[in-house]
Every structure is written in structure tokens, then in C-alpha cells.
């Protein structure tokens, strides 16, 4: 049995607390909100599980309730590349769902994660009937474009400390990942997977930014004290 089928078998309706954590749900009109609540399901993904696979047809629009995911390619003609991380509160795959096409990327759980799914048919019904939902999706697409431009810029940065700072800033994006707040639950090894550096090099970079007063390393995670410093890291060299 595939991982995707196992996730579907474990799926259940969302609790009231989980529904309250979805950033777009409360904005919907009454009928649209009721339909979305009936259709939404959530499942537990284990570390290493794939939520989306390259070449698979889209069936759900996904959101992360809790945990940590990574988005990467799976190109046998070249090296595997991590595009971005997905932090709590983030919804992803709206472009693929809009076009009803096959996935061009993998989404994989880095730790045990609760992943919510909205069936693609309900996604399109909401697009057809809810102005509030349309506004949210348009904003998502705009923010996602900015995120990928930033990720492309990070790929060209040679300074590991700057790479770590900018990657952290992306994960603390309040629009894309509203569930993070001021503390991101992430280990140094998980951050190393996302940034493409060794855990030891990430550790040195975190020490630098902690000394600069931009972050504080806490048990099981990172607290951002100065997001502007992380976002602006290395820009004085451009």
C-alpha cells in the first residue's frame, strides 16, 4: 500500500481546535465555510512520508496544521534540490490545484506532521462561489511568487551564515505560515536539510545570529527576536 493511500486511510474530520487554526476558513461566507468544514480532512504523516509526489495528479489542496515539511524536486537528470520548507499554518499547491495538473515537486514530512486536505473539487467550488476564498488564494499566489524569488536568490548566496538567515526568515513569513508565531519548532538537522548545509555549519551560523541578537536557540526550536535582521542579511554586499 502506498504512503498516500495510508494517509487517506488514517484521515479523519478536523477537531474544532484544528478548524480554528486554518487561516482562511473564518473569512469565508457562511455557506462556503460550512461546505469547506464538511469536506476538510486531516491525517498524520510520519517522518519521510510523501504528501505529494512528482507526476501524481492533484486530488487535494493541502495545509500543515502541525509539524514540518519540505518541498523538493526529484529530477533524475540532475541533483535533488530543496525549494523551500513548509511551516505550520502554511497551505500549498494552489497553483497545481488551479490547473488540475500533475505535481512538479515532492512534499515530504521531516517530522511527524498533521496535514489537512481540501478535495480539489471543493477547492474549485469555493473559487466559483466565494469572493473571500478567491482573495485568499490570489494573495497566496502573490506571496508564493515572492517566496520563490527569495529562494532563488538564496541559492546564489555563497555565505552560509546568510543562507541560514534568509532561509529562517522565509519560514517565519507571517502571511504564508501564520501558525509559526515567534517560535519555530525545528532541529538543527532539519534546518540543515532545508538549507543544504551540514548540521555543524548550520550550528555555527545560528550561533552567529544568536550573538547578533536576531534569534534565540531554545529547546526544540528557534525564537526570532529580530526578523528584519534575518531578512536583510547580506544585502549590504549587493
What would the pLDDT profile of 221-237 be if each residue is shown by its tens digit? Answer: 999 999 999 988 876 54
Asked if the model's pLDDT at residue 150 lies above 90, the reply is: no
> What is the C-alpha separation between 93 and 116, in angstroms, rounded?
12
**pLDDT at position 77 over 60:** no
Backbone angles phi, psi at 220, to 5 degrees: 80, 10
Length of the chain: 238
For residue 116, what pLDDT is reported? 97
Residue of 234, 227, 216 lying closest to 174 (CA atoms): 227
CA 27 – CA 13 distance, rounded (Å):
20
Residue in the structure block whose three cell numbers are 520563490: 148
- Higher-pLDDT residue of 194 and 134 is 134
- 61 in Cβ contact with 67 (< 8 Å): no
Residue 127's contacts (CB-CB under 8 Å, 6 or more residues apart) are 98, 133, 134, 137
Amino acid at each position: 500500500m502506498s504512503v498516500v493511500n495510508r494517509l487517506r486511510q488514517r484521515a479523519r474530520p478536523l477537531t474544532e481546535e484544528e478548524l480554528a487554526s486554518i487561516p482562511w476558513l473564518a473569512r469565508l461566507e457562511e455557506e462556503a465555510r460550512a461546505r469547506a468544514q464538511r469536506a476538510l480532512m486531516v491525517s498524520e504523516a510520519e517522518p519521510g512520508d510523501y504528501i505529494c509526489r512528482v507526476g501524481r495528479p492533484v486530488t487535494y489542496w493541502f495545509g500543515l496544521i502541525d509539524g514540518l515539511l519540505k518541498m523538493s524536486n526529484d529530477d533524475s537528470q540532475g541533483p535533488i534540490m530543496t525549494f523551500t520548507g513548509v511551516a505550520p499554518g502554511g497551505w500549498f499547491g494552489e497553483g497545481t490545484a488551479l490547473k488540475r495538473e500533475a505535481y512538479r515537486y515532492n512534499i515530504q514530512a521531516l517530522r511527524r506532521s498533521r496535514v489537512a486536505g481540501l478535495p480539489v473539487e471543493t477547492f474549485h467550488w469555493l473559487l466559483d462561489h466565494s469572493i473571500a476564498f478567491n482573495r485568499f488564494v490570489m494573495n497566496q499566489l502573490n506571496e508564493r511568487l515572492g517566496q520563490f524569488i527569495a529562494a532563488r536568490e538564496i541559492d546564489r548566496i555563497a555565505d552560509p551564515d546568510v543562507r541560514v538567515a534568509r532561509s529562517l526568515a522565509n519560514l517565519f513569513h507571517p502571511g504564508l505560515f501564520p501558525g509559526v508565531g515567534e517560535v519555530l519548532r525545528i532541529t538543527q538537522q532539519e534546518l540543515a536539510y532545508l538549507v543544504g548545509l551540514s548540521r555543524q555549519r548550520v550550528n555555527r551560523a545560528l550561533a552567529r545570529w544568536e550573538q547578533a541578537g536576531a534569534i534565540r536557540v531554545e529547546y526544540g526550536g528557534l525564537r526570532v527576536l529580530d526578523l528584519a535582521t534575518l531578512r536583510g542579511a547580506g544585502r549590504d554586499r549587493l
